[in-house]
Structure 1
Amino acid sequence: MLITTILVSLIMLIVWKKSVWVVALFLAVVLIELLYLSSQMTKFTKGGFVPILLAFFLTLFMGIWHYVQKERYMFELKNKVSTEYMNKLVNNPNINRIPGIGLLYSELVQGIPPIFSHFIANISSIHSVVVFISIKAIPIAYVALDERFLFQQVKPREQRIFRCIVRHGYRDVLGDHVEFECQLVQHLKEFISLENFILEAEGTSTEGKTLTLGNENDMTTTTNATDEDIIVQSRVSSDSIQGFEVTKEFEFIEKQMENGVVYMLGEAEVVADPKSSIFNKVVVNHGYDFLRKNFREGDKPMAIPRKKLLKVGMTYEI
């Protein structure tokens, strides 16, 4: 009861954004629960040790799970795929691009998880469009659909590899996989359109400045109208090219969606580093392994169809 009261007070303060004074009044219940705890201590040898022992083991289990999950995330962060690897991937003729869209789930928000390079090394094939998805819960009730998907392009752009953070509130329901796929592709196309618009604006600005500087240094006599005509013609030509590229990208993504969407989940087997301490080996190889085999992790906030699911295994040494 004492732990529950403390956790609820944290939720009131962080998630519900209640006033500190309201939380302080709620914490007055802690005094009553401390009385119950003291009564348990007076009868410790007559059975009062049972709830205390139960609380100890629950705290131990949660501590082990949190410790290993944190070390696992740090391992992925330290061993994330480098930019040099992605550049080599472009020039590697042995890598085949298969039709469809591949969604690779990972808890890593920044960078590409190491399980991707492990996947490429064993299969030597990737989908025509790859999206690394990280599902993150934020401490609000609902997240607007326009703010749910955050995309980022992974260079080089020719690979059509993206990172996406899917944010949801604690009362949001992402729906079934068909609705999720449609929303994901729609926001991906919006991101591509916006990115091309930004690149177009930067290119037009740079091109316009170059033309202006060239005309200022030119020894021949030109009028302002001629300079403006050159810049306008350049912008029209650039708009046509950029619009054609965006339309081509949209058609390509829609075609790959028709070819099918595959969900890839990384199953990492966490083991202790042979050079680590005895405490770390006991916690990881025995404590965490026991919890992993006997307890089930929480399901993702969306239903992944088993017919489209591909699991990739890898061993993490922490």
Structure 2
Amino acid sequence: MVIVTVRILPIKSVLPDKRFVLGKLGPKGVYRCLIQYGYKDAPNMEGVEFVASVVEKLKEEIEDIDEMAMLESVASKGVVYVLGRTILKSSEKNGWVAHCVIDYSYRFLQKNFRSAISTLKIPPSKMLQVGMLYEL
């Protein structure tokens, strides 16, 4: 399992050799991959080229040959992107102003403005969104 985090840095562009920061997490076969982009870079996570570049960078980190073979076989089967989503809801104890701001204004903005997810160019058929509902 590879946990990928995408970070947009406040610099114009990230050099290709600094784009991937990899590391091993606790259990065998679990890795983290931090992918860094500058604000002028165009993040693109679709296609086999992205997966192949992550796998190649991981191969440089892996010392165990069995793990490397497992990584190659799993990568050929496909990728699923799990993304987090947050929904806010006003609690009953709040006044009508909080209900209007949270339940109507915030939800209107959330539904009608472009999501950061769309800029990553993740294929919708490979995306799973996991959400949390916060009551304020």
Same topology, TM > 0.5: yes
SS where residue 132 of structure 1 aligns? strand
User: Superposition pairs for residues 298-317 of structure 1, below 5 Å?
Assistant: 298-317=116-135
Contact 1:153 1:162 in 2 (8 A): yes
Q: Which has the higher strand share?
A: 2
- The one-letter amino acid paired with 1:141 is K
User: 1:280 & 1:134 partners in 2: Cα distance?
Assistant: 33
Residue number among 81, 100, 110 corresponding to 1:263 in the alignment: 81
Q: CA deviation at 1:281?
A: 4.3
- 5+ residue gaps, structure 1, are 1-128, 194-245
**1:161 maps to 2:27:** no
Is 1:179 matched with 2:29? no
Q: Specify the alignment match of 1:291 in structure 2.
A: 109
1:182 Cα shift?
1.1
Q: Report the structure, 1 or 2, having the larger helix content.
A: 1
- TM alignment of 1:31-180, pairs within 5 A: 129=1, 131-155=2-26, 157-158=27-28, 160-175=29-44, 176-180=46-50
Cα deviation code 1:238-259 (max 9, x no counterpart): xxxxxxxx11111010010111
Give the TM-score of the pair, scaled to structure 2: 0.78
Q: Amino acid of the residue matched to residue 132 of structure 1? A: I
> Whole-Å Cα distance in 1 between the matches of residues 102 and 21 of structure 2?
34
1:254: which partner in 2? 72
> 2:40 is matched by which residue type in structure 1?
R
- Alignment check: 8 A CA contact 1:177 1:303 kept: no
1:273-288 map, 5 Å: 273-274=91-92, 277-278=94-95, 280-288=98-106
Deviation at 1:185, TM superposition (A): 1.4
Please state whether the residue corresponding to 1:182 is helix, strand or coil: helix
Of structures 1 and 2, the larger Rg is shown by: 1
Same amino acid, percent of matched pairs: 34
CA distance in 2 between partners of 1:161 and 1:273 (Å) = 39
Q: Which SS does the other structure have where 2:31 is aligned?
A: strand
Residue 281 to residue 178, structure 1, CA distance change in 2 (3 Å): same
Task: Give the Cα separation in 2 of the matches to 1:150 and 1:267.
Answer: 24
Is the Cα–Cα contact under 8 Å of residues 177 and 302 in structure 1 kept in the other structure? Answer: no
- Paired with 2:17 and 2:35, the residues of 1 have a C-alpha distance of 11
Secondary structure of the 1:261 match is coil
